[in-house]
Structure 1
Amino acid sequence: MTATQFAPAAMPDTDAQKRAVDRVAEAAHRLNDAVQRAIAAGYSVELVRTSRHHDGSGNWGDQIVPTVREKGAEKSA
């Protein structure tokens, strides 16, 4: 019996910007799925911007944290 030969798979030829956008999009998709699961389990979820991250050269991004309440819990104002 001959040994199986494996070759590394070629990575898609994408630039850094596309990879960065794809990473954020994938994380957002996972977050949206988690929010839907929490709602199905009887929780309310609010995403709150806590800060805006700057890199010093004009680029920025919002950072968030979840606020989760059990069903029937009153939201504090």
Structure 2
Amino acid sequence: MTAQPEFRRVDLPENAQIDRAIHRVAEATHRLNEAVQRAVAAGVSVELVRVSRHHDGTGHWGDQVVPTIRATMPDQSA
């Protein structure tokens, strides 16, 4: 009978955590861009405005944004 292999946890290198963070931001940005396209197709204008900058105290930072939405009013001149 063959002995079963022993499985044990191996910690991923620090770069993997950074790569995951970058991929999370990229995926969220992609979804945001798709949502903006759908909103524009529905007849609204969308502007993303930076409202703050998050700092971690060690020199890293990231911009935080909120959407400004303006709906196009239907033409009532008819």
Q: Same fold (TM over 0.5)?
A: yes
Q: Which residue of 2 aligns with 1:40?
A: 41
Provide the aligned length of Structure 1 versus Structure 2.
60
Counterpart residue number, 2:23? 22
Ranges in structure 1 where 5+ consecutive residues have no aligned partner: 1-12, 73-77
User: TM-score scaled to structure 1, two decimals?
Assistant: 0.74
Alpha-carbon distance in 2 for matches of 1:71, 1:44: 7
Q: How far 1:42 moved relative to its partner?
A: 0.1
CA distance in 1, matches of 2:56, 2:36: 29
- Provide the C-alpha distance between the structure 1 equivalents of 2:23 and 2:16, rounded to a whole number of angstroms: 11
SS of 1:15 mapped into structure 2: helix
Report which of the two structures shows the higher radius of gyration computed on alpha carbons: 2
**What TM-score, normalized to structure 2?**
0.73
Give the superposition deviation at 1:71: 1.1
Q: Say what the alpha-carbon RMSD is for the aligned residues.
A: 1.3
Equivalent residue number for residue 63 of structure 2:
62
- Structure 1's consecutive aligned runs of 4 or more residues displaced over 4 angstroms after TM superposition are none
